[in-house]
Amino acid sequence: MSTEITRGPVDKSIDGGIKYLDERYGTSGFIKRNIKKVFPDHWSFMLGEIALYSFIILLLSGVYLTFFYKPSLIEIVYDGSYLPLKGIKMSEAYASTLEISFDVRGGLLMRQVHHWGALLFVAAITVHLLRVFFTGAFRKPRELNWVIGVGLLVLAIFEGFSGYSLPDDLLSGTGIRIASGIALAIPVIGTYVSFLVFGGEFPGLDFMSRLYTLHVLIIPGIMLALITAHLMLVWFQKHTQYPGPGRTNNNVVGYPLMPAYMAKAGGFFFIVFGFLVLLAGLVTINPLWAYGPYMPDQVTAGSQPDWYIGWLDGGTRIMPNWEIVIAGIGTLSLNILIPAVVVPGIMFTLLALYPWIEQWITGDNRAHHILERPRNNPNRTGIGVMSLTFYGLLWIAGGNDIIAQMLDLSINDMTRLIRVAIFVAPPLAFVITKRICLSLQHSDKERLLHGDPTGRLLRLPSGEFIEVHEPLSDNVKAVLLARTELPMLQPPAEVDQSGVKTPKLWAKKLQHRLNRWWYVDQIPMPTIAELEAAKHHAVHELQEAQALGLEITHDLPEPTKSH
């Protein structure tokens, strides 16, 4: 490359800086090792970047908002420039949010950037998580980073909810009221928890400043630390890559950090930022002036949380009204605890533990750096779609009043239907997804053995018709062949060699049974012999065709074509 160009003043100052740092901190070794670090390039690898950039934008816009916002529930009479609320009693928190929106130049823009950014942040984490899940990127050696990611998702949801609650408008106050109701439902200590959190009865005057500290300091601080760890682990372990020609479990194929990857990643930050600012300038989010101030005795139809709380709200809606009064002891509000605590608790625990659950079933303790195509792991893909179906149904339940209003349905019918569907639809989704995956596996095998059908028929001298198949390109072949197969686990021995009963035999038996179930339907990969035979057949077919004087446009296998 062109390193011997004359060195101008800029180069000299850069050189000087590098020298200065290296003499003191020995940075050059680190930079040397990392500046050409290779990152695989794929659109689906940018989803996490969207989340990261949203977080940075949230920090920037959030800091700006803190300069105006007052986390105070002291009642004042509004005297700002929004006429429909002039003279109305409201908290200082709400009044300062109105001031940001109507009396600060760019204040509304920043508020909308912040709120759209929050919705985008959680959505980007979610699609990133789905990508990681469905491609098996969480497998060894990346299990811990998966757990950090799940932790970040949970924190992002709390952070979002706390932010949604700060303006103290009618909608956000209703959300806080529901949170207080959930706190009260905690068995034994619920009343105390609620009184400590709210500094006495709901709503009190204390919780807004406490929530504010959580929202601007504690939660983002933890998130910042976790995001740093998340990225350092990605950096250290190197990114996974999709299967393709030349890509193995022992290498990374992609672009070096400097310059192309850096330019793309940096440019994408500006794109996400610019997009959010455009969105904030063009589309209203949370028109809190229209909701009015929070009053604990007022409510609006269509009281909804932001999208990422919607599924919890939906679960709470479709829950039957089970409440157990244990005579002389206490009241157990299962109607609140199950949808608001138990179900999300189980969901997030299973999500966090999934890498180990799958590892235990498959017995697969190898390191994986090549991503798995979703079809090649039908059970995982099925579990994913099953969970999404479950989540989606709760989500629909969370918006059922708006959906009922738009589509002229009955909220009661929707609730009754979802109460059934929540048990029926997810297993159905699993079965259907698994079947689709297996048939895709089957067609992959056919393609490997016979190539792609072209639709052209040939009549052989024998009178037989054959369809001309086009051989696969090496790119496609590399992708199809990258599927890994594991032998099933052997049934556990009842006793070991020395005749001692195997400890935890039941667990090993369960593992064996699950392992069988996991693999029993897999379409086996073609063997090397089968592939060789198929190749001969293809050549033969081609020769037959040429003998008939037909022009076959495609070439024989040759590693030249590429995508």
Nearer to other proteins, 430 or 477 (CB): 477
Cα–Cα dist 37/438, whole Å: 37
Nearer to other proteins, 219 or 336 (CB): 336
**How many other β-carbons are positioned within 10 Å of the β-carbon of residue 492?**
16
3-state secondary structure of 39: strand
- Contacting other proteins within 245-284 (CB under 8 A): 245-256, 259-261, 263-264, 266-284
Torsion angle defined by CA atoms of residues 230, 235, 241 and 245, in that order, rounded to the nearest 10 degrees: 180
Verify binding: residue 202, other proteins, rule CB under 8 A. yes
State the binding string over 35-54 for other proteins (x if CB under 8 A, else -). -xxx--xxxxxxx--x----
Shortest distance, CB of residue 19 to other proteins, whole angstroms?
26
Cα–Cα dist 426/458, whole Å: 46
Cα–Cα dist 375/434, whole Å: 8
- Contacting other proteins within 97-116 (CB under 8 A): 101-109, 112, 116
State the binding string over 457-476 for other proteins (x if CB under 8 A, else -). ----------------xxx-
**How many other β-carbons are positioned within 10 Å of the β-carbon of residue 542?**
18
Among 21, 31, 63, 189, binds other proteins (CB under 8 A): 189
Shortest distance, CB of residue 326 to other proteins, whole angstroms?
10
Could you tell me if 91 and 76 are in contact, meaning their C-beta atoms sit under 8 angstroms apart?
Answer: yes
Closest CA to 536 of 557, 517, 507, 511: 557
Closest CA to 203 of 122, 102, 90, 300: 90
Peptide bond into 453 cis (omega under 30): no
Contacts of 282 (CB under 8 A, 6+ apart): none
Q: Is 136 left (phi over 0), alpha (psi -120 to 50) or beta?
A: left
Nearer to other proteins, 205 or 440 (CB): 205
Where does this chain touch other proteins (CB under 8 A) — which range of 211-219, 314-322, 430-438, 453-461? 314-322
Verify binding: residue 562, other proteins, rule CB under 8 A. yes
Nearer to other proteins, 27 or 511 (CB): 511
Among 408, 462, 506, 553, binds other proteins (CB under 8 A): 408
264 token code pair:
């793309």
Where does this chain touch other proteins (CB under 8 A) — which range of 385-393, 396-404, 420-428, 449-457? 396-404
Nearer to other proteins, 134 or 430 (CB): 134
Cα–Cα dist 220/35, whole Å: 29
Verify binding: residue 450, other proteins, rule CB under 8 A. no
Nearer to other proteins, 188 or 217 (CB): 188
User: 502: which DSSP letter?
Assistant: P
Closest CA to 336 of 203, 197, 204, 180: 180
Verify binding: residue 67, other proteins, rule CB under 8 A. no
Could you tell me if 501 and 507 are in contact, meaning their C-beta atoms sit under 8 angstroms apart?
Answer: no
Where does this chain touch other proteins (CB under 8 A) — which range of 376-384, 385-393, 450-458, 555-563? 555-563
Shortest distance, CB of residue 208 to other proteins, whole angstroms?
12
Verify binding: residue 13, other proteins, rule CB under 8 A. no
Nearer to other proteins, 69 or 430 (CB): 69
Q: Which residue has the tokens 């679960």?
A: 315
- Contacting other proteins within 414-433 (CB under 8 A): 415
- Contacting other proteins within 526-545 (CB under 8 A): 528, 531
Verify binding: residue 344, other proteins, rule CB under 8 A. no
Verify binding: residue 341, other proteins, rule CB under 8 A. no
Shortest distance, CB of residue 549 to other proteins, whole angstroms?
26
User: 524: which DSSP letter?
Assistant: P
Cα–Cα dist 446/459, whole Å: 22
